[in-house]
């Protein structure tokens, strides 16, 4: 799991230099596919998963999650985008995502990105043996709502290991001291999706792309977590975050 997580983080570190106005999400997807397969000697988990055909999910502006890369979708200055990637190495999965700002981004969108990342970090801080899954949801929801944002409820984090999406479900809202107890040895993702406006969502006709119902922007960050005796080990930590935990 550590190796798979490190590789997934490495994909996001590598692709950052290519995220700029004028590039298509299809191009970004191809670059990441080639990197995972030819350089990392690993497998992109998303290809073929329930019929999905791409390496990445590229979710731009009002797209909450599961955006499909497309050669016709050209990034422009002001866009905000989540890139979500999962790598399989020796049968184990590493799953992570990051927000990218394309060119010059409006202040309110930068703030949404920042607060959403803080929601993830605050959730990670409460993870330890003896805590509850409700503590994770409470940490996220309370910070998001304090900043006048809403939390998407239909999509959640998940257990992960040799199975891509496993139990338990990790809700991003809830009450402290409720739900399943967190125990040493658990592996799961935390991946809050935070909206500028309403929490309501809609799925587009492609069956994958999830957007905000009110058309306002959304942000998401994701890490894969291992629970050790002292707390949370972030398996998908990027170099830029090394001082965060």
Q: What is the mean pLDDT of residues 100-105?
A: 98
Q: What is the mean pLDDT of residues 102-131?
A: 98
Q: What residue spans define the domains of the chain?
A: 2-236
Q: Are 36 and 182 in contact (CB under 8 A)?
A: no
Please determine, for residue 242, whether its predicted confidence score (pLDDT) is greater than 90.
Answer: no
Q: What is the mean pLDDT of residues 209-236?
A: 98
- pLDDT single digits (tens) 145-199: 999 999 999 999 999 999 999 999 999 999 999 999 999 999 999 999 999 999 9
* pLDDT confidence of residue 200: 97
Please determine, for residue 243, whether its predicted confidence score (pLDDT) is greater than 90.
Answer: no
Phi, psi dihedrals of residue 100, rounded to the nearest 5°: -125, 135
Q: What is the mean pLDDT of residues 219-230?
A: 97
- pLDDT single digits (tens) 30-69: 999 999 999 999 999 999 999 999 999 999 999 999 999 9
- pTM for the whole thing? 0.96
Instruction: Kindly report the CATH number that applies to the domain delimited by 2-236.
Output: 3.90.230.10
Q: Are 150 and 194 in contact (CB under 8 A)?
A: yes
Burial of 239 (0-12, 13-18, 19+ CB in 10 A): exposed
Q: Are 167 and 159 in contact (CB under 8 A)?
A: yes
Q: What is the mean pLDDT of residues 118-142?
A: 98
The three-state (H, E, C) secondary structure of the chain, written as one string: CHHHHHHHHHHHHHHHHHCCCCCEHHHHHHHHHHHHHHHCCCEECCCCHHHCCCCEEEEECCEEECCCCCCCCECCCCCEEEEEEEEEECCEEEEEEEEEECCCCCHHHHHHHHHHHHHHHHHHHCCCCCCEHHHHHHHHHHHHHHCCCEECCCCCEEECCCCCCEEEEECCCCCCCCCCECCCCCEEEECCEEECCCCCEEECCCCCCEEECCCCCEEECEEEEEECCCCEEECCCCHHHCCCC
Q: What is the mean pLDDT of residues 114-120?
A: 98
* pLDDT confidence of residue 55: 98
* pLDDT confidence of residue 244: 74
- pLDDT single digits (tens) 56-102: 999 999 999 999 999 999 999 999 999 999 999 999 999 999 999 99
């Amino acid at each position: 799991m550590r190796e798979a997580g490190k590789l997934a983080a490495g994909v996001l570190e590598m692709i950052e230099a290519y995220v700029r106005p004028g590039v298509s999400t299809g191009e970004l997807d191809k670059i990441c596919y080639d990197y995972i397969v030819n350089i990392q000697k690993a497998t992109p988990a998303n290809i073929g998963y329930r019929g999905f055909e791409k390496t990445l999910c590229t979710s731009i502006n009002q797209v909450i999650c599961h955006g499909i890369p497309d050669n016709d979708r050209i990034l422009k200055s002001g866009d905000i985008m989540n890139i979500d990637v999962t790598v399989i190495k020796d049968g184990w999965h590493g799953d992570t995502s990051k927000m990218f700002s394309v060119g010059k981004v409006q202040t309110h969108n930068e703030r949404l990105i920042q607060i959403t990342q803080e929601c993830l970090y605050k959730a990670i801080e409460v993870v330890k043996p003896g805590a509850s899954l409700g503590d994770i949801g409470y940490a996220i929801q309370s910070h998001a709502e304090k900043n006048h944002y809403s939390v998407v409820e239909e999509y959640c984090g998940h257990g992960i290991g040799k199975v891509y999406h496993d139990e338990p479900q990790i809700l991003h809202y809830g009450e402290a001291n409720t739900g399943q107890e967190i125990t040493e040895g658990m592996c799961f993702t935390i991946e809050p999706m935070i909206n500028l406006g309403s929490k309501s969502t809609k799925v587009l006709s492609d069956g994958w792309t999830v957007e905000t119902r009110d058309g306002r922007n959304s942000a998401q960050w994701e890490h894969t977590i291992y629970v050790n005796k002292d707390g949370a080990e972030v398996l998908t930590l990027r170099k830029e975050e090394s001082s965060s935990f």
